[in-house]
Structure 1
Amino acid sequence: MRLFVAVYPPPESVGHLGAQVARLRVGAAAAAGTNVRLADPAHLHVTLAFLGDVEAARLVEVESALGLAAEAFHDGRNAPPRFSLGGGGRFGQGRSTVLWVGLRGEVEALHVLAGLVRSRLRQRLPCDDARPFRPHLTVARPGERMDLADIEADRADLDGYQGPEWQATELLLIRSHLDPRPSRYDRLAAWPL
């Protein structure tokens, strides 16, 4: 099973972001039929840890580790952390270009949660999500189908974007399916924050 751990923004925040993306050059390109691979709003999430392929027999270990991470995070907190979507960035280049939106608010709390999740998982599994944690939601994968100047203009527009505030209320374990058809995600388990 291909697994990752995430927090999801609420539909109101996703809808607000969607309206912003529609006004960007990448949104106009998608509306004109260019395959800029806009992210599916139903799948917008902040990945805290990517586990990759995990044997089904180890699912109980994964869930136990995540339960301990959520419990450790929750201890001492009066309320789930608050965020808003805002700021923009770009990963990769050429075919691998990704446009993303960042988070504002109690972002340090998300770094703490990601650290707890990764630490607890490493204690039980040979998982190696060595990439540094950078909280973001992928907006589009325009690759080389758009001029880099247009992508940079969209990134700059996202820098000025500020979405509505929301709380991260649960930690989710998600299974992703890699098929020829659009990505599918199944929610396997959740823990309150």
Structure 2
Amino acid sequence: MRLFTAIHPPPAAVTDLAARVAELRVGVAAANGVDVRLADPVHLHLTLAFLGDVPDERLVQVESALGLAAESFRDGRGSSPRLRLGGGGSFGAGRSTVLWVDVRGETDALDTLARLVRHALRRAELPHDDKPFRAHLTIARPGDRLHRADVRTDRETLHGYAGPEWPADELVLVRSHLGRHPRYTRLAAWPL
């Protein structure tokens, strides 16, 4: 099964972001039928660690490692980090262009949580992506279906965006099902 760990923003933050995205050029293009692959608001998440394909029989080990990471984080903090979605950018070029919104607030705590999660996975000899952690939330994958100038304009518009503040109070283990319309299944969660 294909797994990742995530923090999910609450409905109020998602609704606020969705309203802003609808005003962007990528949002207008989607409303006009252009396949800019807007992220489904129901599935918006901040990925802390991507595990990739993990054998079913190792799920208990994954859950144990993540439980230990969440416990370590709680013990070292005492409260959930306060975050907000704001700012943004893009990466990739041509067909692989991605538009994202940034994460602001107590991002040092989020960095610590990601480090604890990855450390716990490494100690349990579980697979995970070792790319440097960069908190962001993907909002669209317009690829080359939206002109570069429009992506640049959206990126600049996002610089002024600041969504509502919210507590990141739960670490979630998610199973992803690939396909044109990906699906995500929540497998387990731990309080932060």
Please tell me the TM-score bracket, short chain as reference: over 0.9
Query: How far did residue 124 of structure 1 move?
Result: 1.1
Query: How far did residue 126 of structure 1 move?
Result: 4.1
Deviations 1:89-137 (A, max 9, x none): 1111110000000111000000000000001001113414111101011
Q: Which amino acid aligns with 2:165?
A: E
**Equivalent residue for 2:188?**
189
Q: Which amino acid aligns with 1:183?
A: P
1:67-86 equivalent positions in 2, closer than 5 A: 67-86=67-86
1:101-180 equivalent positions in 2, closer than 5 A: 101-180=101-180
Q: Which amino acid aligns with 1:81?
A: P
* Equivalent position SS for 1:76: helix
Question: Which whole-Å CA distance do the structure 2 matches of 1:159 and 1:115 have between them?
Answer: 27
Deviations 1:39-89 (A, max 9, x none): 000000000000000000000000000000000000032310001100101
* Structure 1 unaligned spans of 5+: none
Question: Which whole-Å CA distance do the structure 1 matches of 2:128 and 2:30 have between them?
Answer: 35
* Structure 2 unaligned spans of 5+: none
- Percent identity of paired positions between Structure 1 and Structure 2: 65
**Equivalent residue for 2:11?**
11
The RMSD of aligned alpha carbons is 0.8
**Equivalent residue for 1:63?**
63
* Equivalent position SS for 1:133: coil
Question: Which whole-Å CA distance do the structure 1 matches of 2:86 and 2:182 have between them?
Answer: 25
1:28-67 equivalent positions in 2, closer than 5 A: 28-67=28-67
Moved over 2 A (4+): none
Question: Which whole-Å CA distance do the structure 1 matches of 2:128 and 2:11 have between them?
Answer: 31
Q: Contact 2:90–2:97 at 8 Å: present in 1 too?
A: yes
Question: Which whole-Å CA distance do the structure 2 matches of 1:107 and 1:124 have between them?
Answer: 26
* Equivalent position SS for 1:34: coil
* Equivalent position SS for 2:60: helix
TM-score in terms of structure 1 length? 0.98
Question: Which whole-Å CA distance do the structure 2 matches of 1:21 and 1:174 have between them?
Answer: 25
* Equivalent position SS for 1:75: helix
Question: Which whole-Å CA distance do the structure 1 matches of 2:107 and 2:179 have between them?
Answer: 33
* Equivalent position SS for 2:76: coil
TM-score in terms of structure 2 length? 0.98
